[in-house]
Amino acid sequence: MSRLTFAIPSKGRLKEQTEAWLAGIGHPLRQIGGERGYTAEIDGLDAEVRLLSAREIAQGLIEGSLHFGVTGEDLLHDLAQDGPEDFQVLQRLGFGGADVVVAVPQAWFDVDTMSDLEAAGAAFRKSHGRRLRVATKYLRLTRRFFAQKSVGEYRLVESAGATEAAPSTGTADVIVDITTTGATLKANGLKVLDDGVILQSEAAITQSLRASFTAGARAVADTLVGAFSNSDHKF
């Protein structure tokens, strides 16, 4: 990659807020091809700007096919096999906030912590002959967190839809999902465990630690980093 590659979310609130943040640090963005285009230019930066999904941005940063990008920390931490060795969060941007949490049915009155969940899992296996099912889209994050909390009485069920509905539909017993206010979890009869916050995530400008930089790309990177380092613009 001879030019600096920089990716921002391609649609929705994250795209709008990222564009506002760039304008606030003195580098407004112009989308090429109008609203349907997937490339853009940033004033004052000689960079190849791509509009991608937040997940594609996280994957590109981890693989090294992008130099910089704006995406959610939840995706970065979940997709990176080596964790923070694959990327560096340069600045959290103050928007796109959500917590990745462990939630169980509110009816589980005796399960309030991760250690309670492990005990419940052992009892459940003894009674039902199977492990508790944990539905999630965050497979790596869940495995790492459960291992840190010494919880082993479970098996993962990859969620393809509305994760919060899994316990009520009988496809899982516990979930790991993102939440902002907790209202959706409560509406589905779920509660967050007292020590069940895995990650407090928000949108962040992130640098790949696997991408190679030419001298020209490094100079543009220094300009970009200097712009947001010297700016107090934040949401």
Instruction: Specify the pLDDT at position 148.
Output: 96
Retrieve residue 169's tokens. 């539909």
Instruction: Specify the pLDDT at position 32.
Output: 84
Q: What CATH code is assigned to 4-97+202-229?
A: 3.40.190.10
Mean model confidence pLDDT for the chain:
92
- Reply yes or no on whether the pLDDT at 99 is more than 80: yes
Domain boundaries, given as residue ranges, for the chain: 4-97+202-229, 98-200
Q: What percent of the chain has pLDDT over 70?
A: 95
For 135-197, the three-class secondary structure string (H helix, E strand, C coil) is EECCHHHHHHHHHHCCCCCEEEEECCCCHHHHHHHCCCCEEEEEECCCHHHHHCCEEEEEEEE
**Reported confidence tier of residue 235, pLDDT bands at 50, 70, 90:** very low
Question: What does the alpha-carbon distance between residue 102 and residue 134 come to, in Å, rounded to a whole number?
Answer: 9
- Asked if domains 4-97+202-229 and 98-200 share a fold, the reply is yes
Q: What percent of the chain has pLDDT over 90?
A: 80
Q: b vs e for 101-140, b when ≥16 Cβ sit within 10 Å of the residue's Cβ?
A: bbbbbeebeebbebebbbebbeebeeeeeebbbbbbbbbe
Q: How crowded is the C-beta side of 198, counted as CA atoms within 13 Å?
A: 28
Could you read off the pLDDT of 8-18 as tens digits, one per residue? Answer: 999 999 999 99
**Per CATH, is 98-200 categorized as 3.40.190.10?**
yes
Could you read off the pLDDT of 184-226 as tens digits, one per residue? Answer: 999 999 999 999 999 999 999 999 999 999 999 999 999 888 8
Instruction: Specify the pLDDT at position 231.
Output: 64
Question: What does the alpha-carbon distance between residue 176 and residue 128 come to, in Å, rounded to a whole number?
Answer: 22
Global pTM?
A: 0.88
Could you read off the pLDDT of 151-160 as tens digits, one per residue? Answer: 999 999 999 8
Question: What does the alpha-carbon distance between residue 16 and residue 24 come to, in Å, rounded to a whole number?
Answer: 12
